[in-house]
Structure formats: C-alpha cells, structure tokens
C-alpha cells in the first residue's frame, strides 16, 4: 500500500473500552428487567393459555358476523353494540390466524398485559417515582387483573392500555425534552387507545396530574397543552354514551337509580376497589348488587371519606401529601366513568367488576410500592426480599384465579360459590345443562335465577323453551311472553314465541296475527339477515293467510340459508311449496 493512500484515509478513533462497557451496562439491566416482567406475566398466566371461550366471547368473536366480513363494517357502521374498531380489528386479524383455537387469543392478551407492565415501569421512571420496577412487577402479577387478561373479550382492556401507557410515556418525555415530536406521538397513541376502547377517556386529567407532579404546580400553558387531548376524549365519550344507550343497552333497564343513590354508590365503589387492590380475596366474576337507601345519611359516608382524604392530601401537597394525592387521586379520577353515573350494560348484573379497575389499579400499586421502597431505601437486600415475597404471593393467587376462567362451567360455578344469588350464573348454568340435554337440571337453574331476579328475561326465555321442548306449551307461552315484555327487542324470544304461535298443531294455541307481529319484529331487529327469523315470519304470514308474503319471506330465508345455513335450506324449500299451494305449515310437536 502506498504512502499516499495510507495518509489520505481518515483515521477513526476507537471509543474507549470503558465507554462501550458503560453503554452495555446501561442497556443490559434495562433489557433484563423488561425480560423479567415479561417472564413473570407469562409464568403466572400460563393456565390461561389452556383456557377456552367464555360468556360473551361469542358476541365479540366466535359468533360475531363482523369477524367473517370486511373491515368496513367494523370501522364505519354501528352494526356492533359498541365502538372499539381497533380492538375488533385485532380480533379480525387473529380470527384468520387462530380461528376457533382460543390459545392464540389468550397468548396475545397476556403479551399485551406484559407490554403494558413494561411501559408503566418506564412511565414511573420518567416521573421519578421510587420503586418503579417493583410497581410494574406487582401490576404484572396482580390477581385483580386476571379478569382482564384471561377473558378474551377483555381485549378491549389489554389493547387500549398499551396505547394509554405509551401516550403518558411520550407526553412526559415531550415535557422533559421540550420537543413537539413526542407530544404528537402521545396524542396519536391516545387516539389509538380510544379506538380500542374509551375506558381510557380520563387520560387528559392524568396528564395534568403528571405535569403537576413534575413541576409542583399547573399553569395556563399546561392546561392549553392538554386541550387537544380533552377535545378528542370528549368526542369519543359522546360516541360511547350514544352507543351504550342506543345499541348495547337499548331497551334494557340496567339500573333505575336516581342521582343521589348513584352518588352514594360511587363512594362505596371506590373503597370496594381499593380493598380488592390491597387484599385480593374472594374475587368474583359477578359481585352482589348493593341495596342502598338514598334517604339514609350514612350511605354517603364512604363518598365523603373519599373527598376528605383527598382534601387532607391536598392540604399537605407540598410535603408528605404529594405522593398520596397523585396516587389516590389518579385512582379515583380514572374510576369515574365506571362509578355508576353513566349506565353500562354490565351494571345489570353488578355495580362493580374487577375489569373496571384495570386502568386505575396502577395508581394504588405505585403509591404503596413507592412508599415501601422509600422506607427501605437504605436496605437494598430487604427491598429485594420484599419484592420477591410480594410477587410470589400475588403470583400464586393469580395462577389459581386463572383456572376460574377455563370455561363457562368453571366460571359460573365459582360465581355461585361466592355469590349464590347471582341470577346470571344460574341462567348460564341452565343453558349449559340444556345443551347437554339435561332439561330437569336446566329448569332448576332457570327457576333459581327467577327466584333471585324475577325480571330476568333470559331465565324466562330458558324456562319457556324448556317447557316447550317437553311439550308443555300452556306453561311455555307465559314465560316467553314475559321475556318479550321485559325485553321488547329480545329477538330469540320473539322468534320462538312466533314459531309456536304459527306452527303449533292445536288451534287453541295458534294465533297468526300475534305470530306475525313478533316474527316481524325479530326480522327487523336482524335487519333481514337471519334465515331462521325470516323462515318463522313466513310461517306466521301463512298462518295469517298472507301466502304471497309468506312465499317472499321464505324465498329470502332460502337465499340466506344457501350461504349460511345449508341444513335449513331443504326444510325452507319444502315449506315454500306449501305456501305456494295456499297451505300453512303445521309442525309435529311432542
């Protein structure tokens, strides 16, 4: 090599060995801590990977026609009962990967939960809160979170929380580094979280809390900085309220309480959730509904206690009260949407639920672990031992809790064990017994459900159907009519009632006019996309002597059945011939 070529080549200085080692020392512990959080989540939730589908997993996934259609219906229509298109899109993608194999969905939920735990660790570090990793570990293995992680339908909890945590992380980073890039990334993450579910709608208040924590005060500039978040939250909150009242709840009465009763119950709920966070015993899928007398002064004491503690923490906010104000304040503020001031469908069964505090629980966890870490700041060994002991204890409870969510049978039997008056548990166990062909056991559960809740439309429908299957139509019809009275848009009950009234051999039971009324409503509710309902409408129209209409309805039913229910097609075709000849259909019943 020539001297010229050698001299013209730029010389690169090698970094000192100590600098490379320092960089690795910085990154490697971060990687190890993140890997540990991931490993712990996978370990304690391993039983959930063996679980199946439960309760409304069918509405969300297995029997959801949107999973088999295009993404346009998910994003741009109100065909589903709530608006979280990003969550449904994630399930839509996975449906093409796993189909009816539940393991893939469960693993995804666990991984999302683990990622959220890691992100919360990074958020708490950015906020300079002691014991950040310890708090993330407790969140990862806390038993209260099992309902959100082990239940596939709660993808609408685990997915938005990833974007929620990212939004906080990037917002705080934008504040620390004074860059707009992270601000806009934070706002984008918040929009994605809201598109996953609006349970994260209180995030703008959380961001204000973070700014207060970092600077010790809030300025007009701070408030202006969060205004885009408030604007987006308001839009999605209004969408959700409309969807809940017009699609999810519709004609159902989830609670008839007035403002004062709701206010009193909100105070109870805060302390209930706090108790389950601190002492996770007797966790239940459905807790008993509280009976509160709003005329009694004592029922407002829990709510006044919440305000009292917040006031105390505020008074001492420049000292020891600052951390409790942030932690407990975060907990209360993020719980607000589920405290009962707005109707949520699940309130029909219980006013509280473990999955409703998935967003909130990190506030109390960070407060407690931060206080413990501060108290043991000069005793690192004690910190490590305490963290391991707490993680082990909570992990064992979480592992056991996962087995409750293995299938519908284990879920509802555990619910009855802890809440014997849970009408929904009796109702669903009755359905399982009926599917096994054990009508006697099914009817026992349906009657128990009605003893606990006389206006349970599902139990009336189940009992009426069971009587019909036994050939006892005299007792079946009152229960079916009661189910329709309680829930006027109960399409399955409308259809079953119409079918009996239209096709029963006995003229004393048949009623063509009533059958048409019920069947037409069921068809309208399905937007003419249900072959069974159209088939029933055709039979009802024939019984009422409207044979031309019956033929048209049956032909529509045949078109749908050809693609979706081929087993029904032959029966419908035979009935079309009857209607064309001017004869109604008479079913041979037991």
Looking at residue 78, its pLDDT comes to: 86
> What is the C-alpha separation between 183 and 229, in angstroms, rounded?
11
Taking only Cα atoms into account, the Rg of the chain, rounded to an integer number of angstroms, comes to 29
> What is the C-alpha separation between 533 and 295, in angstroms, rounded?
47
* 246-250, 272-276, 289-293, range with greatest mean pLDDT: 272-276
Among 339, 328, 314, which residue's Cα sits nearest to residue 366?
Answer: 328
The answer on pLDDT for 189 being more than 50 is yes
Looking at residue 348, its pLDDT comes to: 83
Higher pLDDT, 167 or 343: 167
The answer on pLDDT for 4 being more than 50 is no
> What is the C-alpha separation between 22 and 45, in angstroms, rounded?
35
* pLDDT range class, residue 252, cuts 50, 70, 90: low
The answer on pLDDT for 342 being more than 90 is no
Chain position carrying tokens 């608006």:
83
| Furthest CA-CA distance within the chain | 114
Looking at residue 17, its pLDDT comes to: 46
178-183, Cβ contacts within 8 angstroms, sequence gap of 24 or more:
183/225
Share of the chain above pLDDT 70, in %: 93
Among 10, 22, 8, 56, which residue's Cα sits nearest to residue 405?
Answer: 56
Instruction: Give the range among 6-15, 60-69, 147-156, 577-586 with minimum mean pLDDT.
Output: 6-15
Looking at residue 249, its pLDDT comes to: 62
Instruction: Give the range among 42-56, 219-233, 559-573 with minimum mean pLDDT.
Output: 559-573
* pLDDT range class, residue 16, cuts 50, 70, 90: very low
Instruction: Give the range among 17-26, 343-352, 430-439 with minimum mean pLDDT.
Output: 17-26
* pLDDT range class, residue 206, cuts 50, 70, 90: very high
Share of the chain above pLDDT 90, in %: 77
Looking at residue 15, its pLDDT comes to: 46
* pLDDT range class, residue 407, cuts 50, 70, 90: very high
* pLDDT range class, residue 253, cuts 50, 70, 90: low
Collapsing DSSP to helix, strand or coil, 208 comes out as helix
The answer on pLDDT for 112 being more than 50 is yes
* pLDDT range class, residue 9, cuts 50, 70, 90: very low
* pLDDT range class, residue 2, cuts 50, 70, 90: very low
Looking at residue 343, its pLDDT comes to: 81
Q: How far is CA 291 from the centre of its chain?
A: 25
Task: Locate 546 and state its tokens.
Answer: 């409207």
Looking at residue 139, its pLDDT comes to: 97
For 491, residues 6+ apart whose C-beta sits below 8 A from its C-beta are 521, 522, 525, 526, 530, 533
As a whole number, mean pLDDT of residues 526-534 equals 90
* pLDDT range class, residue 576, cuts 50, 70, 90: very high
Helix (H) or strand (E) holding 555: helix 547-564
* pLDDT range class, residue 508, cuts 50, 70, 90: confident
Residue 85: CA atoms inside 13 Å, Cβ hemisphere, count?
15
Question: What are phi and psi for residue 362, nearest 5 degrees?
Answer: -65, -25
As a whole number, mean pLDDT of residues 161-171 equals 98
Looking at residue 6, its pLDDT comes to: 39
* pLDDT range class, residue 172, cuts 50, 70, 90: very high
The answer on pLDDT for 245 being more than 90 is no
* pLDDT range class, residue 8, cuts 50, 70, 90: very low
* pLDDT range class, residue 522, cuts 50, 70, 90: very high
As a whole number, mean pLDDT of residues 290-312 equals 94
- 288 class by beta-carbon count within 10 Å (0-12 exposed, 13-18 middle, 19+ buried): middle
As a whole number, mean pLDDT of residues 353-379 equals 94
Looking at residue 251, its pLDDT comes to: 60
The answer on pLDDT for 507 being more than 90 is no
> What is the C-alpha separation between 573 and 205, in angstroms, rounded?
61
């Amino acid at each position: 090599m020539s001297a010229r070529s050698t001299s013209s080549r730029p010389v690169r200085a090698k970094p000192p060995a100590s600098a490379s080692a320092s960089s690795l020392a910085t990154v490697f512990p971060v990687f190890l801590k993140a890997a540990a959080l991931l490993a712990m989540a996978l370990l304690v939730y391993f039983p959930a990977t063996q679980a199946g589908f439960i309760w409304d997993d069918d509405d969300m996934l297995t029997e959801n026609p949107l999973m088999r259609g295009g993404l346009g219906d998910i994003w741009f229509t109100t065909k589903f009962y709530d608006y979280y298109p990003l969550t449904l899109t994630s399930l839509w993608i996975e449906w093409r990967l796993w189909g009816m194999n539940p393991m893939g969905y469960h693993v995804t939920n666990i991984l999302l939960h683990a990622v959220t735990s890691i992100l919360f660790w990074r958020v708490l570090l950015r906020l300079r809160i002691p014991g950040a990793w310890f708090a993330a570990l407790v969140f990862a293995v806390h038993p209260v979170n099992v309902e959100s992680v082990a239940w596939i339908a709660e993808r609408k909890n685990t997915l938005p929380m990833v974007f929620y945590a990212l939004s906080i992380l990037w917002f705080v980073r934008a504040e620390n580094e004074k860059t707009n890039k992270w601000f806009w990334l934070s706002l984008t993450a918040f929009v994605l979280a809201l598109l996953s579910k609006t349970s994260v709608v209180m995030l703008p208040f959380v961001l204000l809390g973070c700014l207060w924590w970092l600077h010790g005060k809030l300025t007009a500039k701070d408030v202006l900085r969060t205004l885009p978040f408030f604007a987006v939250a308001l839009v999605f909150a209004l969408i959700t309220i409309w969807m809940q009242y017009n699609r999810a709840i519709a004609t159902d009465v989830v609670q008839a309480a007035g403002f004062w009763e709701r206010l009193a119950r909100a105070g109870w709920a805060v302390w209930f959730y706090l108790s389950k966070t601190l002492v996770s015993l007797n966790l239940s899928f459905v807790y008993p509904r509280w009976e509160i007398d709003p005329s009694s002064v004592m029922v407002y004491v829990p709510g006044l206690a919440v305000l009292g503690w917040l006031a105390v923490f505020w008074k001492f906010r420049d000292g020891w009260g600052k951390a409790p104000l942030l932690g407990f304040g975060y907990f209360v503020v993020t719980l607000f949407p589920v405290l009962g001031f707005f109707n949520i469908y699940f309130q029909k069964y219980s006013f509280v639920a473990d999955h409703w505090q998935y967003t909130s629980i990190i506030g109390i966890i960070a407060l407690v672990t931060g206080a413990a870490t501060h108290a043991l700041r000069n005793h690192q060994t004690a910190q490590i031992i305490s963290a391991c002991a707490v993680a082990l204890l909570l992990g064992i409870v979480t592992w056991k809790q996962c087995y409750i969510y293995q299938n519908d049978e284990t879920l509802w039997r555990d619910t009855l064990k802890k809440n014997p008056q849970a009408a929904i548990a009796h109702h669903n166990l009755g359905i399982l017994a009926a599917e096994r062909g054990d009508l006697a056991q099914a009817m026992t559960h349906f009657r128990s459900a009605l003893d606990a809740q006389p206006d349970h439309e599902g139990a009336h429908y189940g009992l009426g159907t069971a009587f019909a299957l036994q050939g006892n139509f005299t007792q079946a019809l009152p229960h079916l009519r009661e189910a329709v009275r309680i829930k006027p848009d109960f399409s399955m009950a409308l259809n079953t009632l119409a079918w009996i009234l239209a096709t029963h051999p006995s003229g004393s039971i048949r009623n063509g006019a009533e059958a048409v009324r019920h069947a037409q409503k069921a068809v309208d509710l399905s937007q003419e996309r249900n072959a069974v309902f159209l088939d029933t409408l055709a039979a009802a129209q024939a019984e009422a002597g409207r044979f031309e209409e019956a033929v048209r309805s049956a032909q529509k039913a045949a078109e749908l059945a050809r693609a979706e229910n081929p087993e029904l097609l032959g029966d419908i075709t035979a009935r079309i011939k009857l209607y064309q000849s001017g004869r109604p259909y008479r079913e041979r019943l037991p």
